[in-house]
Structure 1
Amino acid sequence: MVTNASYSGVNSGIQVAQNYGPINANLSQPETLLDQACLRDLRTTSPRDDKERIKKTNGGLLKESYRWILENAAFKNWRNNQSNRLLWVRGDPGKGKTMLLCGIIEELMLLHEDTATVSFFFCQATDMRINSATSVLRGLIFSLVEKYPSLLRHVRVRYDSAGKDLFEDVNAWSALISIFTQILEDSSLESTFFVIDALDECRDGLQDLLDLIVENSTAQKTRWMVSSRNEYEITECLDSATQVAPVSLELNQASVSEAVNAFIRHKVDSLAKKKRYDERITAIVKHHLLSNSQDTFLWVALVWKNLDQTPRWVDVTKKLKTFPPGLDALYRQMINQVRDSVYTELCKRILGTMTAVFRPVTLCELKALLEGQNDGFYDLQTLFDMIGVCGSFLTLRENTVTFVHQSAKDFLLKKASNEIFFRGIEAEHHAIFVRSLQIMRKTLRRDICGLKSPGFPIEQVRHQDLDPLATTRYSCVYWVDHLRDSQSNEDPDPDIFGPVDLFLQQNYLYWLEALSLLQSLSEGIAAMLRLDLLLQVSSHCDFKDLPY
């Protein structure tokens, strides 16, 4: 079938695309390549890499901080398949749930290496790629088929005719449920532990995910472990489930307290060695942390990080007095420090941008989004230094900026929004949308990566070939999302669509090429559908001539 589409502006002309259908195309490709393509499209993230990243971000996994759970009666009964098949670890923010599950996963993999499979997923609300029910299910399936390649046939049955859309269109959840059910019924699948961290950070489809967990928790070959905050929707659903064993961190306060104390002793000893504290200073630091942690791992980690960045000549005893007990009080203190800093405007701009973006961003992506918004901003080194000033909220690892914890973003949104957002969160989204259009119009061009071949296989594009897209990859994928969130549902601004019209007329094909190189064409299709809805909402906007 041949399809035509006409465009005006710089991209003017008739574009011709030939589509013989996915089945015919597949016949010419070796099965191995198709398996690889299927796995690549199924993958949203690597749960194993996520676990290692989380461990490194938190300074490594200390066995003394989680071994108490291994002797917990509910855990032992669950692990040994004696009664309850669903274990639910619940607790307030910062209590160490994620690191606890990291430790449990490693113990399970060690204890059941030859007798069971461990499939796990870490939800993260600040990253749209891993904060939905479909991404969780894709991650669990990916883990299983990665270990048992023969199970991929259950995915290929549907994938061969649908391609990547199978995992991302409006029917993705139903399709994934069907595939997941077939995999669980496969006789080659051995006993399996499913572990999902941070259910409360699932922002899309949480109820569907909860229903899936509850319905499958009674299956004979599976055992489930989940963690979450004490939130009503999750509590209501899991409290009513059969064969569920809740492990409340608040009700196990003595065990958690001892785990936090072990964590404090370990961190202070390493700090004392690095800073060459004498015994008196070491004892003072340790006593302050033990007395004020309120059994919260995150509080200890944030204070330790601050002390670690404090020069040796600073009076540590005075510095300790600037760390009030409790997460919210500590965050408030850090906001006050940002406010009193000579870099306050730039720090607030960075925090505002990071609060509004839909995934963690690289340094160069953040620099591009900030340029033109603040006269005090100059280069990557300045940005690096400013992230250090915002250190209790943000962290930088492997050139990527993210929040130290979901509670940090929650605090900024709920308790410090008036200080961070100059004109409200919608204005922040609007600024990112406008800047994204500017970045793309300035950067995108024909054959941007210099491949010099329209039919160049995407599998052969090297990571370094994509360097010209380094500053614009975030904007290419999320500019429509920021446009959507910049508009009031009650009174959308029709004037905003003028720049959109101009961008589509002059840069549409370049944008599609960039999305193809970034392997994000499906995201582009979804963005166009969202843009269509936005245009329809704005009754003042005549969108019939827009080129898509």
Structure 2
Amino acid sequence: MATTISFNGINSGFQTGVMNGNVGNITFVQSETVNQACLRDLRITDPNDDKKRITETNGGLIKDSYCWILDNEEFKQWQNNQRSNRLLWIRGDPGKGKTMLLCGIIDELTRLHGSAANISFFFCQATDVRINNATSVLRGLIYLLVDKNPSLLSHVRARYDKAGKALFEDINAWSALSTTLMNILKDPSLNSAYLIIDALDECTYDLRLLLDLVSQESSAHPQVKWIVSSRIWPEIIERLDIVTQVAPISLELNDASVSGSVNKYIRYKVNALAKVKKYKDDTRETIYRYLLSNSQGTFLWVALVCQNLDLTLPRHAIRKLEVFPPGLDDLYGRMMDQVRRSDDAEVCKQILAIMSTVYRPITLSELTSLVEVPNNDFDDHEALSEIIAVCGSFLTLREDIVTFIHQSAKDFLLREALNEILPRGIGAEHHMIFSRSLEVMFKTLRRDIFNIKFPGFPAKDVRSPSPNPLAAAGYSCVYWVDHLQGSERDETYELSLNERGIVDKFLQQKYLHWLEALSILGSVSNGIRAIQRLLLLIQEQAESQSLMGRAQDASRFIRIWDSATGQSVSTLEGHSEEVTSVSWSSDGSRLASASYDETVRIWDAATGQSVSILKGHSQWVTSVSWSQDGTRLASASYDETVRIWDTATGQNISTLEGHSNWVNSISWSHDGSQLASASNDATVRIWDTATSQRVSNLKRHSDWILSIAWSPDGSRLASGSNDTTIKIWEKATGHSILTLKGHSSRVNSITWSPDGSQIASASWDKTVRIWDVATGQSVSTLEGHSDEINSITWSEDGMQLASASNDKTVRIWDLATGRSVLTLKGHSDGVNSIAWSPDGSQLASASHDKTVRIWDARTGESVSTLEGHSDGVHSIVWSQDGVQLASASDDKTVRIWDLATGQSMPTLLSSYFLQLDKFNFNHLYTSMGMFDIGSIASVTPLSHDSILSPEHYGYGLSHDSSWITYDGVNLLWLPAEYRPKYSSRFAIPATDLAIGCTSGHIIFLALTERSPIIGL
């Protein structure tokens, strides 16, 4: 297989890539330890830093404002193990000080138990997409636990070593991390621990998953105590009330304690103001009494009023008090009036609209790039800071980062001022941010934006120049597609995706520059998801072929990244019962699945969307099969019928009736004119698919028929039965021409050899038999399995056979000798299904242990374990190009796995482009003209005289042969299998390089300049 990828235009540098051959697993060598890499990749945020930021933003943590909780009876019962449940739930309305209360509890627990205490916590924030989801909560909790106890990192490494950073970010991240957390909590070395989660109500995504985990795990580990806080939401009450066996600590029910703490907080804040502003005693007391009588027991209200007084001249302080009505909503309303009266009202509203729409807090530089200011009234951060101050009760600015003062501020704007700040709707605002994001990226992104010149080192070692050229474009680089998608979701806003060809132009001119910027920003994983979403949007809107081609070219990098790591690229959800069978269409664009829910579904393999739901069967559907031309689909059911469907319309073309018991198996003839069906009524029926009439009724078996298969030439049909026999039928006459006897138990799988001369059969008698079709004799009996055999399949060349068994193994047999040449061990439960890859180099197996494994068919080594299903996997099938594998499971889902064989150049490129956040991508631009890797058995250097050692000037190899160098500087990293074993296998005639690889390949690199470093 060969693949060519090119990007034309300004961002060109790498022109084409072609590779013929095979690339195995690619490993990156890094100076840091794997433990360090794992911990860094796990970190979504450091909750310690979040706690420091929160307390500093709120003016510091005042003990008097939280010490009441320490004397609370319910808190003391929880702390002293006097409660049967170890979950403490603190709940209350916005602004009641829940977050600061938890900060105080964390400090007290640390003081009580010392610095070695296992206290892990996380602060959810709805306005920041990075920390507003259940998966991020788990990442934060696990991060603090393993950072404090490095020995616990082994529970993370168990999966991380296989998946890398994708473990924390892919579609299965929640499942993997929840299992990891449970394993950590069970670890005997964890003597005691406190897990604290603030603001459950600000967990915007997968809150129910998080609530279920908290409710289950809080009673499972006696050495672990939990604290959570939230607003009083019905969903949270419903989930947590069932496990909280005593009343939670309600801040409303503890109003006296909270009010007392607020009063102490007021005294502290007013005294601090008086000291700074030099208030007279009567002014200080007037302010104190006003706050005391109007705070309504709300910390946030006090903090907002004091923040405004801090900006007010002392002589105006008393008069200014009058503009602060009691209650948060009234205060926000008054502040909105202030915005309206401001000379910068329109810019203020723009800023509030942007902040209500962005996916995370943004910097002043990023905000500047998104705001449209008439006549360029300001062009520096100081002017923008002054305008943000006008929005002071809504926004806060700390260390150049703009964020909402509190979630309640954003809630107020979207509830009470929506038409003012977003007059054209949220979709228009998303599209505005998308458009301005592209503008700033066009203006900013360029080749070697940090002027690194020497790209051979990890991205983590990159130091930002001053000023940072990416400062304004950082947010846009990560989230531009999210905003494009956000505008598409608003039904009231009509989106033109390729308006003025801007997206096409961006991919043509700035794609490689964007990849480089993402690498520097440590956000390549976000870019991967962005391109996937972009392609879906283009497909949905049927945009221009030019844009489609460009996006597909870009997305090919993403497919290859996923395939290199064996990730599930789609989880097809929709069935309500177990999925029994899957089948690809011949062109690989669609997938069909059958389920116990009595339906068949057709899925778009590219988008993972359900295209059609085929309803009509009245019992479980056991099998599905596409016609060769892909226009029809057949399904077999326990309702004793076979149905044929039009795959374009989803209509039932015909219902084939006649069986008197369950239909177990169906098979199209090669020309699609006939369909065979096997039933528990002990018959095989052959149907004319044009007329829906029965052609033959084959009745010689005495028990259930479990498997049928057409011969390669389509002239005969074989059937395997519960009566222990195999029969071969002549298609033309419908007569049984052979009965193959020898098994002592049911025959549940049969398959023809590629040349049609032999049949293999698998039985529950633990054997496989090979039969000569001409004589009906058993040629060999393959013995070795210790339990029932469920599935068999021939290799493409007919020289080998694979078998899968309930003994948890797969065996590969040499049919010339009848011996088992490989036993594939690794599954922890019975193996249900196996399938050779189209090129015969790999074998896939599906098991009751919930996994699919990919094996190297030559060595028997396990190439990858595909984890993600939550129940047994029963059916697997390769796409015809061998790039993808589909699996069907009892967990009611179908998964599509991208498993490219590595026989195309982009697999090597993905090492450079898409190894998540680890390498600076400037080596995109080393001016490579052509990579051409041929599969050559022996390697001979081009010219022994032209060999250069690393000490020579010009091109060379590093001492460990892992880098191509120029003048001794690392230039282009080489995966392990592309390094020469001996220095004599590296040749450089002028600017051409040839490397004899340990893999048996030769790499030829044609560099178009004598020094590609110059001019970067």
Preserved CA contact (<8 Å) 1:120 1:195: yes
Q: Name the residue aligned to 2:334.
A: 333
Of 494-503 and 316-325, more deviation after overlay is shown by 494-503
Shift in Å, 1:323: 0.4
Q: Name the residue aligned to 1:525.
A: 528
Q: Name the residue aligned to 1:248.
A: 250
Structure 1 distance, partners of 2:228, 2:412, is: 24
Shift in Å, 1:29: 4.6
* Aligned mate of 2:266, from 264, 272, 275: 264
Q: Name the residue aligned to 1:62.
A: 62
Structure 2 distance, partners of 1:114, 1:325, is: 41
What are the superposed Cα offsets for residues 51-76 of structure 1, whole Å, 9 maximum, x if unpaired? Answer: 01100000000101000101111111
* Aligned mate of 2:508, from 488, 491, 505: 505
Q: Name the residue aligned to 2:482.
A: 481
What are the superposed Cα offsets for residues 114-153 of structure 1, whole Å, 9 maximum, x if unpaired? Answer: 7741100000111111111010000000001100111112
Larger % of helix: which?
1
Q: Name the residue aligned to 1:232.
A: 234
1:362 corresponds to which letter in structure 2? T
Preserved CA contact (<8 Å) 1:89 1:226: yes
Larger % of strand: which?
2
Moved over 6 A (4+): none
Structure 1 distance, partners of 2:197, 2:18, is: 42
Residue identity (%): 58
What are the superposed Cα offsets for residues 314-344 of structure 1, whole Å, 9 maximum, x if unpaired? Answer: 2x22211110000000000000011011111
Shift in Å, 1:436: 0.3
Shift in Å, 1:379: 2.4
**Distance verdict in 2 for CA 1:525–1:130, change over 3 Å:** same
- Secondary structure of the residue aligned to 1:329 is helix
Shift in Å, 1:377: 3.8
**Distance verdict in 2 for CA 1:284–1:492, change over 3 Å:** closer
What are the superposed Cα offsets for residues 141-188 of structure 1, whole Å, 9 maximum, x if unpaired? Answer: 000110011111211121122111111111111111121122112111
Structure 1 distance, partners of 2:18, 2:477, is: 22
Structure 2 distance, partners of 1:248, 1:463, is: 48
**Distance verdict in 2 for CA 1:148–1:476, change over 3 Å:** same
Structure 2 distance, partners of 1:120, 1:251, is: 25
Preserved CA contact (<8 Å) 2:428 2:493: no
Preserved CA contact (<8 Å) 1:91 1:228: yes
Q: Name the residue aligned to 1:438.
A: 439
- Secondary structure of the residue aligned to 1:445 is coil
Preserved CA contact (<8 Å) 1:122 1:198: yes
Gaps of 5+ in 2: 555-1016
Q: Name the residue aligned to 2:956.
A: none
Preserved CA contact (<8 Å) 2:488 2:495: no
2:429 corresponds to which letter in structure 1? E
1:453-492 superposed matches below 5 A: 453-464=454-465, 467-490=468-491
Shift in Å, 1:500: 1.2
**Distance verdict in 2 for CA 1:511–1:279, change over 3 Å:** same
Indicate whether 1:534 and 2:537 are aligned: yes
What are the superposed Cα offsets for residues 393-439 of structure 1, whole Å, 9 maximum, x if unpaired? Answer: 11111111111111111111111111212322221111111000001
Shift in Å, 1:238: 0.7
Structure 2 distance, partners of 1:501, 1:358, is: 24
1:55 corresponds to which letter in structure 2? T
Indicate whether 1:292 and 2:294 are aligned: yes
Structure 2 distance, partners of 1:177, 1:4, is: 40
- Secondary structure of the residue aligned to 1:396 is strand
Of 243-252 and 396-405, more deviation after overlay is shown by 243-252
What are the superposed Cα offsets for residues 96-118 of structure 1, whole Å, 9 maximum, x if unpaired? Answer: 00000000011111112277411
**Distance verdict in 2 for CA 1:331–1:271, change over 3 Å:** same
Indicate whether 1:130 and 2:143 are aligned: no
Q: Name the residue aligned to 1:544.
A: 548
Q: Name the residue aligned to 1:426.
A: 427
- Secondary structure of the residue aligned to 1:469 is coil
Structure 2 distance, partners of 1:373, 1:213, is: 51
2:139 corresponds to which letter in structure 1? R
Q: Name the residue aligned to 2:356.
A: 355
- Secondary structure of the residue aligned to 2:424 is coil
Structure 1 distance, partners of 2:2, 2:89, is: 53
Preserved CA contact (<8 Å) 1:85 1:243: no
Q: Name the residue aligned to 1:108.
A: 109
Q: Name the residue aligned to 2:52.
A: 52
Of 137-146 and 184-193, more deviation after overlay is shown by 184-193
Structure 2 distance, partners of 1:521, 1:62, is: 41
**Distance verdict in 2 for CA 1:7–1:57, change over 3 Å:** same
- Secondary structure of the residue aligned to 1:10 is coil
Shift in Å, 1:4: 4.5
Shift in Å, 1:372: 5.7
2:427 corresponds to which letter in structure 1? E
**Distance verdict in 2 for CA 1:3–1:33, change over 3 Å:** farther
Structure 2 distance, partners of 1:112, 1:248, is: 26
Q: Name the residue aligned to 2:632.
A: none
1:147 corresponds to which letter in structure 2? K
- Secondary structure of the residue aligned to 2:229 is strand
Question: Root-mean-square deviation (CA), in Å?
Answer: 2.1
Q: Which has the larger radius of gyration?
A: 2
Structure 2 distance, partners of 1:331, 1:17, is: 61
2:460 corresponds to which letter in structure 1? E
Structure 1 distance, partners of 2:94, 2:169, is: 31
Structure 1 distance, partners of 2:9, 2:234, is: 53
**Distance verdict in 2 for CA 1:15–1:247, change over 3 Å:** farther
Preserved CA contact (<8 Å) 2:535 2:548: no
Shift in Å, 1:540: 5.0
- Secondary structure of the residue aligned to 2:27 is helix
2:548 corresponds to which letter in structure 1? K
Q: Name the residue aligned to 2:732.
A: none
Q: Name the residue aligned to 2:34.
A: 34
Of 224-233 and 109-118, more deviation after overlay is shown by 109-118
Structure 2 distance, partners of 1:359, 1:494, is: 23
Gaps of 5+ in 1: none
1:185-196 superposed matches below 5 A: 185-196=186-197
Shift in Å, 1:79: 1.3
Indicate whether 1:305 and 2:307 are aligned: yes
**Distance verdict in 2 for CA 1:198–1:3, change over 3 Å:** farther
- Secondary structure of the residue aligned to 1:435 is helix
Preserved CA contact (<8 Å) 1:493 1:538: no
**Distance verdict in 2 for CA 1:490–1:320, change over 3 Å:** closer
What are the superposed Cα offsets for residues 11-40 of structure 1, whole Å, 9 maximum, x if unpaired? Answer: 346454999666x525x456x521111111
Structure 1 distance, partners of 2:74, 2:475, is: 44
* Structure with greater contact order relative to length (CA < 8 Å, sep ≥ 6): 1
Q: Name the residue aligned to 2:796.
A: none
Structure 1 distance, partners of 2:253, 2:18, is: 62
**Distance verdict in 2 for CA 1:444–1:188, change over 3 Å:** same
Indicate whether 1:10 and 2:10 are aligned: yes
Preserved CA contact (<8 Å) 1:426 1:485: yes
Structure 2 distance, partners of 1:348, 1:533, is: 33
Of 366-375 and 437-446, more deviation after overlay is shown by 366-375
Q: Name the residue aligned to 1:174.
A: 175
Of 12-21 and 320-329, more deviation after overlay is shown by 12-21
Preserved CA contact (<8 Å) 1:91 1:250: yes
Structure 2 distance, partners of 1:356, 1:130, is: 16
Structure 2 distance, partners of 1:271, 1:450, is: 47
Preserved CA contact (<8 Å) 1:86 1:243: no
Q: Name the residue aligned to 2:385.
A: 384
